[in-house]
Structure 1
């Protein structure tokens, strides 16, 4: 296929955009949809090749951690005790950091079954880092400062039924509701549905009024209320359940979030690029069939 670049070629790096697109496309895996691979690779290329500095930075990330997910405002990298425990502890213990004021750590941990923590070791030994087999966790890295601003979790993975739970990101109160928090969830949702998951669930304490705003920001549908669903810190928890289906994602939820993160113009360009690539692939396929048919006819005529 003839690939159309997402921007201008960087001086001295004539192949950088092609390389960025190719590594993101291939890195998305063979088990994801072609539409997803095109979209993620196109976005990755645009982010990586803005300037020489971003190209060097994103290439370095790929060379050291090829599994990281790269977004416009954040990157997601697999959560590790050695790399992230100290930073997550510092971010969530309520102490002032730079220009950010001191706060009550229960703003983060109050509705969770663990935390606040008194030390790096304590948080390292907790469920924040000690994951079950059906869980995955990612550190949320700010793209501008390269600092850890939170962590986001997947739990209750059910490959047989193609369902999984997206847990609320653990994030400093000042980052709650920001584009970084939304993009962290978007990157995971997009990859999950591209892998064939049919349903993603969110489960939130019914008393956590602030956190219940998040599913709506992401386009989830409230499905019901589970009474006395859990015991959290020796208290009953009623859980509000929200769901996102693959059909919801394909019919508008993805486009809504993409436009929210990157703008309507970028969302329209993303759709147009996918349609164009579809047309090129169909044309290439028909041309190949024609050549094969002509070769067979030529062989028969001999």
Structure 2
């Protein structure tokens, strides 16, 4: 059987090392000199969430020097390409995340290595950070955006589904992480799915979706469903 032709598709460029600005969060290329201290406080300081390291291939870090060496290695890397997530109001970095497994010739890319401090977890900033990276890669022309996590990582799996990534299956004995087996759950969003996913993000992030206390009026998953008025006469 011959493959499906893609007459109008061309391999995209590599994502740029540049800031991405949203309403609630700013993503900046990782800079240990500027971001190191607030990231150390957010990820390793008093009140940090120790569970965030449970399924990561790195961390936690016993010393600040080890943490700084890790950040410096990430800064020098083009794949993964790391971004610090900043609260625009304070200018402080509250987490970091990356684009990785960047394969322009196939239009494939992944979001991963997500480490958010407690102040950013389950916040509008966390959702918008994912939206900004997703929008960036699909605007570049990527066909497939992947999300992978340890199959035991319930928080990551729930986040993937909430954000609109479709579950594609389990890769058994996929990796050895911290001397232990990792079965990997695979999720992805495709370019043909992005218009609906991206529109739901925009609607969720809109100011009128939050009440005076900052509580969401409609959930993101709900907004991905087309409203009856938008369906027209379609079944």
Which structure shows the bigger proportion of residues in strand conformation?
2
Q: Corresponding residue for 1:82?
A: 33
Structure 1 gaps of 5+ residues are: 1-30, 33-65, 96-101, 266-302
Give matches, 1:1-302, under 5 Å.
67-95=18-46, 102-103=47-48, 105=50, 107-126=51-70, 128-131=71-74, 132-250=77-195, 252-262=196-206
Q: What's the CA shift for 1:82?
A: 1.4
Q: What's the CA shift for 1:81?
A: 1.7
Which structure shows the bigger proportion of residues in helix conformation?
1
Q: What's the CA shift for 1:121?
A: 1.8
Q: 1:113 aligns to what SS in structure 2?
A: coil
Whether contact under 8 Å (1:108, 1:173) holds in the other structure is: no
Whether contact under 8 Å (2:48, 2:117) holds in the other structure is: no
Q: How many residues align?
A: 193
- Distance between the aligned counterparts of 1:213 and 1:162, measured in 2? 25
Whether contact under 8 Å (1:204, 1:241) holds in the other structure is: yes
Whether contact under 8 Å (2:144, 2:188) holds in the other structure is: yes
- Distance between the aligned counterparts of 1:214 and 1:180, measured in 2? 14
Q: What's the CA shift for 1:104?
A: 5.0
Whether contact under 8 Å (1:135, 1:154) holds in the other structure is: yes
For the pair shown, the structure with the greater C-alpha radius of gyration is 1
Pick closer, same or farther for the CA change 1:161–1:264 going to 2, 3 Å.
farther
Q: What's the CA shift for 1:244?
A: 0.5
- Distance between the aligned counterparts of 1:108 and 1:94, measured in 2? 13
Flag as ranges the 4+ runs of structure 1 deviating above 3 A.
none
Q: TM-score, normalised by structure 2?
A: 0.76
Alignment root-mean-square deviation, CA: 2.1
- Distance between the aligned counterparts of 1:129 and 1:207, measured in 2? 29
Q: Corresponding residue for 1:13?
A: none
Q: Corresponding residue for 1:268?
A: none
Q: What's the CA shift for 1:263?
A: 5.1
- Distance between the aligned counterparts of 1:68 and 1:221, measured in 2? 28
Q: TM-score, normalised by structure 1?
A: 0.60
Structure 2 gaps of 5+ residues are: 1-11, 210-235
